[in-house]
Structure 1
Amino acid sequence: MIIKFQATAVIPKFVFAHFLVGNAAGLTQEQWESEIKLAKHSLLDGFALNIGQQDTNTDQILQKAYAAADAVGNFSLFLSFDYQSGGPWPANKVVHAINKYKALPAQFYYYGRPLVSTFEGVSNIEDWPSIRNKTDCFVIPDWTSLGVQLFAEVRHNVDGFFSWDAWPAGADDKTLHSDEAWANVTNGKPYMMPVSPWFYTNLPQWNKNWLWKGAQLWTYRWEQIYRFQPDLVQVISWNDYGESHYIGPIHADGIPQGAARYVEDNHHDAWRELLPYYIASYKLGDRSKIRVTKDTLVYWYRPNPNNSGSNGGTTGNCPQQGQQEMDPASLAEDKIYIAALIKEPSWLMVQIGSNNSITTLFASQIGMNTFEVPFNGQTGNTTFSIVRNRTEVAYATGPAITTNCTNGVINWNAVVGSS
């Protein structure tokens, strides 16, 4: 743990991570327990378990998950019904699943009722009054494709709203505008705010091949959460390898066909090292109560410069969602992104390749500092250090920035590491 904070009486705020159950078919209960321990160490409260109705082994996986969460303790789970992967859920199946798992010790209850969410499902909105009646569940769905105005007409069917709008469209940074709109239209009901560190997918079998701007998304989005103070937060995602926004460990048998090229060796675990600070900031609403106990530097960047190979047919933005198609290189800048969580003001040293110049940066404030360092045509392994009073207090090395692309195709995913 890299922070300490003063406890308050009651903090009715929660942070979950979206977990694709379909990517966890090979996990043993012991591996589930390991995943949960990692999540707890990051101060996550639980997992939102994404399940598709076509998966034949979902119950077997869920039983392991709930048993593991119970064994570890103080970690909650809730079901998130995926209405796009494998088609819409029949209402009777939703009722059966909720009632089957709601009595288990690890089930998360919100306002005294078992929490349930969705991924889309706008064609089945009218199912939910009956589902709620038969399960007494607390429904916070993601119906982002419906739009704010139409959701206002059906919000009486549910108990809150979860937005999937976690990424910027185009070259501008993600703003709070959509969060403000969704929070307002819930009309006083709870709003679950999304946060995600990245997005790149190239899965032709599902007609998916685009990226959205990542850059400092992970850090400035958490700053927005700190200011906005939503009722709940959901991280997208723990293990969606195919869309490159995973923050959990990589399990090879969970990587979708075709994604190994840009997922293997592109570990994102270090992004979690910033979570204790950001989650404590959000829950406390006052950073003066937080004390940084360890100097930590987290870095991320793409391993290939954006002119080093074929773009693989990848588009910037998603034309299938009505967005303007852009050159992916215009959204994926050749930069290293750095977050330095420090105990005292310090100097940061960054170098790309052993023969290139060292970039010196000054982290002036106790707590979080963020920086960007352009590639400037340099390649080679990366090195990072935090220096204070002429003493190196943290050090890290990262994999090479290289023009050698796997199969000649640029890897638009991020590599992530830490000191």
Structure 2
Amino acid sequence: MKASMKICLAAVLSTSSWWSHSMVDAKSVFAHYMLSTLDPNTDHAKQDIDQAIAVGLDAFAVNVGAPGADFSKNTLRQLFDYARDKPFKLFLSFDFYAAGDIGAHQEFFNIWRNEAAYLTYGPQNLPVVSSFSGGSLGPDVWRNFKETNNVYLLPNLEGDADYYSNPTAFFQKWGNAIDGVFSWETAWPDASNTPVNVTSEKDVAVKNAADGAGKSYMMGLSSLQYKHCCGDSWYRSGETNLPERMTQILSLKPELTEVMTWNDAGESHYIGQCWPEGLTEEILQYGNSETYPHDGWQPLITSFINAFKNGEEASQMKPSGNSPIGALWYRGVMAPCDTGLRGSGAAVNSVNYAVVLPPTVQGARIQVSSGGQVLSNVPAHEGLNYNAVGGMVTGPQKLEILDQSSAVIASASSKVDVSNGPQGGFCNFNYYVAGLQNSLDWSDPLIRTIVPPYLSLVCLASAVLLLGVFPVRPIMEAVKELSEDTTESKDTERCKEAECEQETDNGLDGGFAAWSVVFGAWCCLFCAFGWVNASGNFQEYYETHQLRHYSSSSISWILSLEPSVLFATGLVVGKVFDNYGPRWLLITGTFLHVFGLMMTSISSEYYQFVLAQGICSPLGASFVFYAGLSCTATWFQERRALAFGIVASGSSLGGIVFPILLTRLLPTVGFGWSLRISGFVILALLIIANLMVRSRIKPVLRPFTINDYTDPFSEPTFVLLMLSVTCGFFAMFIPINYIVLEAVKNGIDADLSGYLLAIMNAGSLPGRILPGYYGDKLGRFNVMIAMCAFSALILLVMWLPGTLVAPRSAAVYVVTSLLYGFASGAFVGMVPALLGQISPDITKIGVRQGVLFTCISVATLTGSPIAGAILSQQHGSFWGLQVFAGVMMVACVLFLILARITLVGCALRVKV
């Protein structure tokens, strides 16, 4: 292990060495980064750099407007410290508009120039320095700075009169004072009260002169410019400025490009997060990235970067995967609105979009709607497509990509409707940006590669198992057996498990009646636990939609409530089952589960999601969950683990189907109908469950007594089993809830990251059936110990070191998801079987399951928030929560071993 770690470390170091020298001739893309306060108690610096890496940027050009301020040093220290071990660099850009003293900038530069993450460039790998403004200083001042500090100098010198009017004379005058130049103002059209497009005419002239003088040229790429603070207010056209500028840069092919900007909220041209601790309330009124998100532009930037570095044109731009990427953007207020805004006359009431199509998408069309009416439906072509579609009206805005059959394959929808009047007392000309969301593409190579062989394997394994499980009998004999089963056990009032078996021996461990209950219970778990397994998909959706103003932690409590309510109600539900049987539990549970989902579909406030999705729906799910499990326990003894494994596979398949269903529905029919369609699917399956699920024994009406709930704790085996599964459930949901987030933050392809949860649930499908099958043959405790030990190994030996050594390796996440899904799949199927094995009275199985799962609910409620707290404490580093999950799983194994010892002592070769 140490040897392999050394090899990996050497590879990383060699990569770092390559990076530091690769900038000699490489085409590079930077982003202008406004240096302001970053709270050191947050992971904001880490998020900015990680997100920039994911976009494909090479470095931040850090705009220094206050070189002597403490916040400048504190923020830059956070950025350099985190970037040290990342494939990402930083360099300083002196802001002479904010601080005109080059001496102060030089002193500040010398603090950072030797940092490992400081960008070097050019034949001599010199530290890079750029600027905003500074042309008025003259060539002598800049020449002295360059010679004194030995830097690669790329200043913005538009203040020199010859820069645009006579660029050849400009370069003759500046000569060896600079290594290249950076143009800022050409990134937008000039301020105007009439609509005007951006042009590259000035860029062409300056670049040609720079090429003749042997100097580098850096062009600016930006979206819009809108400012409404600090005593000034103006607007420069931004309708299709971003894709137009991409087209110009790809055609002109400069050496360098700078995206303007990553986080300049004051001028509204940000593509990343604008952290509130560094902004004034005046700027946050219109430049808040939470309210006006612009990260929907990032996939376009990524596609542009790849084309730029490959020397391609806009028509050759490609998405990262095989699905379309792009964005829709629009102003939230109709023009004209504010005559006091300079340049407001250039604003057009248009729905703007840019879309990049892969070569695999043929015959597509782009459709734009406003206020529910179609404004445009035009053919799309490979590469970059963009337009500003006029005729926008108030209401919602929508962009759709249609295939040859007119089916929607991707779409982007407005989050805020367009209004006629000012919002918040002024006309905000900033843009709402909505990124394109893809429907599930079955032509994706990932799906074509993974799904068919895996489904074939599952079908083959299922066929083999079914041939061994179901006796080959004539259909009429099965019908006859069903008739016999339904007439037995009518007069039983109170029985132990052995007594019930004698009375209804034909129905135990097989027969049509028993297996029909298994199928009905399978439907219960598909709809109950399967839905809960898919609830992780809502975390990211809520953060960007209905609950985007709430923290991730607050949203996670809604999703943590689901499994907790599902398990915690067992104390009451179990007693109801023992006393009255499954019928009313199934009827009531079906109504509450479906009703909760329907109410979620129309929710918009936090408390509404808590009540509908966090309480009502899982409350109903818990009724059908316990009814299905408890009934199954009454029909099986020798084959109990296998029966529970088959039943539990319903939750795995639900965890596969529901995420895919939601992924396909959300961008096409919206949130509301996605939930309603899911609710109708659940309703259909639960109707089947209501018809098939029944208990083999007659319920025995007993009074509620505290002893029913305390007696299990007098049994050492039960207590140890309870401690074991509680520790296991502390760990179980952590990979489910966090592996997708970790993959996205480490730059794994978004399409692939979205499949990780489905891959994990796919792995758990055989993981819930096979351990049960072998548990009946080799001993349930024996198999459960082995599977839990395997889970611990996956967490501590694969997930933890894998993501530390190779955090950007997709294979680590895919293999971890698949194997952990298989290893942890035994939990849901085997735990009820283990409980049934140590339960002396089967007529109390409902209460005992309720007690056990109520204890588990503590872990399901707090496990993920604890992991989230660890993640926050470590400023976004995931290794702490991985260790926590692994240690909890190890504790699970130890308690299971102790429980086994209470049954058979230390004997190893005993079936337990």
Alignment TM-score > 0.5, same fold: yes
1:229 aligns with 2:248: no
Q: Distance in 2 between matches of 1:373 and 1:176?
A: 23
1:178 aligns with 2:191: no
Are the equivalent residues in 2 in contact too, given 1:304–1:402 (CA < 8 A)? yes
Q: Which residue of 1 aligns with 2:33?
A: 19
Letter in 2 for 1:363: P
Letter in 2 for 1:156: N
Q: Which residue of 2 aligns with 1:305?
A: 334
Q: How does 1:359-398 map to 2 (within 5 A)?
A: 359-376=375-392, 378-388=393-403, 389-398=405-414
Q: Which residue of 2 aligns with 1:243?
A: 267
Q: Which residue of 2 aligns with 1:417?
A: 434
1:168 aligns with 2:168: no
Q: How does 1:59-70 map to 2 (within 5 A)?
A: 59-70=73-84
1:296 aligns with 2:325: yes
Q: Aligned pair in 2 of structure 1 residues 119, 28: CA closer, same or farther (>3 Å)?
A: farther
Q: Distance in 2 between matches of 1:175 and 1:33?
A: 36
Q: Aligned pair in 2 of structure 1 residues 381, 146: CA closer, same or farther (>3 Å)?
A: same
Letter in 2 for 1:258: E
Q: Distance in 2 between matches of 1:172 and 1:359?
A: 22
Q: Distance in 2 between matches of 1:407 and 1:267?
A: 18
Q: Aligned pair in 2 of structure 1 residues 25, 290: CA closer, same or farther (>3 Å)?
A: closer
1:139 aligns with 2:172: no
Moved more, 96-105 or 136-145: 96-105
Q: Distance in 2 between matches of 1:290 and 1:373?
A: 23
Letter in 2 for 1:351: S
Are the equivalent residues in 2 in contact too, given 1:28–1:64 (CA < 8 A)? no
Q: Distance in 2 between matches of 1:226 and 1:263?
A: 29
Aligned partner of residue 315 in structure 1, secondary structure: coil
Q: Aligned pair in 2 of structure 1 residues 260, 392: CA closer, same or farther (>3 Å)?
A: same
1:89 aligns with 2:140: no
Once the 2 structures are TM-superposed, how far is the Cα of residue 263 of structure 1 from its aligned partner? 2.0
Once the 2 structures are TM-superposed, how far is the Cα of residue 176 of structure 1 from its aligned partner? 1.3
RMSD: 2.2
Q: How does 1:262-301 map to 2 (within 5 A)?
A: 262-264=286-288, 265-286=291-312, 290=318, 293-301=322-330
Moved more, 361-370 or 228-237: 361-370
| Structure with the bigger percentage of strand | 1
Letter in 1 for 2:261: S
Aligned partner of residue 352 in structure 2, secondary structure: strand
Letter in 1 for 2:368: V
Q: Distance in 2 between matches of 1:289 and 1:196?
A: 18
Are the equivalent residues in 1 in contact too, given 2:317–2:384 (CA < 8 A)? no
Q: Distance in 1 between matches of 2:174 and 2:421?
A: 51
Q: Distance in 2 between matches of 1:40 and 1:373?
A: 32
Aligned partner of residue 84 in structure 2, secondary structure: helix
Letter in 1 for 2:435: S
Aligned partner of residue 282 in structure 2, secondary structure: coil
Are the equivalent residues in 2 in contact too, given 1:36–1:69 (CA < 8 A)? yes
How many residues of Structure 1 are paired with residues of Structure 2 in the alignment? Answer: 388
Q: Distance in 1 between matches of 2:357 and 2:134?
A: 44
Q: Distance in 1 between matches of 2:395 and 2:257?
A: 37
Are the equivalent residues in 1 in contact too, given 2:55–2:299 (CA < 8 A)? yes
Letter in 2 for 1:357: Q
Q: Which residue of 2 aligns with 1:202?
A: 228
Are the equivalent residues in 1 in contact too, given 2:356–2:384 (CA < 8 A)? yes
Q: Which residue of 2 aligns with 1:347?
A: 365
Aligned partner of residue 142 in structure 1, secondary structure: coil
C-alpha offsets along residues 199-236 of structure 1, whole Å, 9 cap, x if unaligned? 01011x3x421111111110010011101000100111
Q: Distance in 2 between matches of 1:39 and 1:151?
A: 34
Q: Distance in 2 between matches of 1:159 and 1:230?
A: 14
Aligned partner of residue 396 in structure 2, secondary structure: strand
Are the equivalent residues in 1 in contact too, given 2:355–2:385 (CA < 8 A)? yes
Q: Distance in 2 between matches of 1:397 and 1:246?
A: 20
Q: Distance in 1 between matches of 2:376 and 2:152?
A: 51
Q: Distance in 2 between matches of 1:50 and 1:406?
A: 31
Q: Distance in 2 between matches of 1:59 and 1:227?
A: 39
Q: Distance in 1 between matches of 2:208 and 2:248?
A: 16
Q: Distance in 1 between matches of 2:338 and 2:30?
A: 37
Q: Distance in 2 between matches of 1:210 and 1:145?
A: 21
Structure 1: gaps of 5 or more residues:
1-8, 317-327
Once the 2 structures are TM-superposed, how far is the Cα of residue 28 of structure 1 from its aligned partner? 5.1
1:38 aligns with 2:58: no
Are the equivalent residues in 2 in contact too, given 1:121–1:143 (CA < 8 A)? yes
C-alpha offsets along residues 249-284 of structure 1, whole Å, 9 cap, x if unaligned? 132223334222222311111111101211111111
Q: Aligned pair in 2 of structure 1 residues 124, 12: CA closer, same or farther (>3 Å)?
A: same
Are the equivalent residues in 1 in contact too, given 2:328–2:413 (CA < 8 A)? no
Q: Distance in 2 between matches of 1:27 and 1:191?
A: 36
Are the equivalent residues in 2 in contact too, given 1:30–1:68 (CA < 8 A)? no
Larger radius of gyration: 2
Q: Distance in 2 between matches of 1:97 and 1:310?
A: 41
Q: Distance in 2 between matches of 1:263 and 1:333?
A: 20
Moved more, 193-202 or 143-152: 143-152
1:107 aligns with 2:118: yes
Q: Relative contact order: is structure 1 or structure 2 higher (C-alpha 8 Å, sep ≥ 6)? A: 1
Aligned partner of residue 174 in structure 1, secondary structure: coil
Q: Distance in 2 between matches of 1:373 and 1:164?
A: 28
Letter in 2 for 1:347: R
Q: Distance in 2 between matches of 1:76 and 1:47?
A: 7
| Structure with the bigger percentage of helix | 2
Which one of 188, 199, 211 corresponds to residue 214 of structure 2? 188
Are the equivalent residues in 2 in contact too, given 1:78–1:116 (CA < 8 A)? yes
Letter in 2 for 1:197: S
Which one of 118, 124, 129 corresponds to residue 137 of structure 2? 124
Q: Which residue of 1 aligns with 2:349?
A: 334
Q: Distance in 2 between matches of 1:55 and 1:185?
A: 38
Once the 2 structures are TM-superposed, how far is the Cα of residue 349 of structure 1 from its aligned partner? 2.8
Q: Tell me the TM-score normalized by structure 1.
A: 0.86
Once the 2 structures are TM-superposed, how far is the Cα of residue 18 of structure 1 from its aligned partner? 0.3
Q: Distance in 2 between matches of 1:45 and 1:29?
A: 23
1:403 aligns with 2:420: yes
Q: Aligned pair in 2 of structure 1 residues 297, 120: CA closer, same or farther (>3 Å)?
A: closer
Once the 2 structures are TM-superposed, how far is the Cα of residue 114 of structure 1 from its aligned partner? 0.4
Q: Distance in 2 between matches of 1:331 and 1:412?
A: 11
Q: Aligned pair in 2 of structure 1 residues 116, 29: CA closer, same or farther (>3 Å)?
A: farther
Are the equivalent residues in 2 in contact too, given 1:29–1:67 (CA < 8 A)? no
Moved more, 166-175 or 26-35: 26-35
Q: Distance in 2 between matches of 1:129 and 1:168?
A: 31
Q: Which residue of 2 aligns with 1:314?
A: 341
Once the 2 structures are TM-superposed, how far is the Cα of residue 59 of structure 1 from its aligned partner? 1.5
Q: Tell me the TM-score normalized by structure 2.
A: 0.41
Are the equivalent residues in 1 in contact too, given 2:33–2:263 (CA < 8 A)? yes
Q: Distance in 1 between matches of 2:367 and 2:409?
A: 12
Letter in 1 for 2:407: T
Aligned partner of residue 77 in structure 1, secondary structure: strand
Once the 2 structures are TM-superposed, how far is the Cα of residue 118 of structure 1 from its aligned partner? 1.0
C-alpha offsets along residues 108-151 of structure 1, whole Å, 9 cap, x if unaligned? 11111000011112343333233222321111101112131474
Q: Distance in 2 between matches of 1:27 and 1:358?
A: 48
Once the 2 structures are TM-superposed, how far is the Cα of residue 67 of structure 1 from its aligned partner? 0.9
Q: Which residue of 1 aligns with 2:459?
A: none
Q: Aligned pair in 2 of structure 1 residues 94, 254: CA closer, same or farther (>3 Å)?
A: closer
Q: Distance in 1 between matches of 2:105 and 2:412?
A: 47
Letter in 2 for 1:293: N
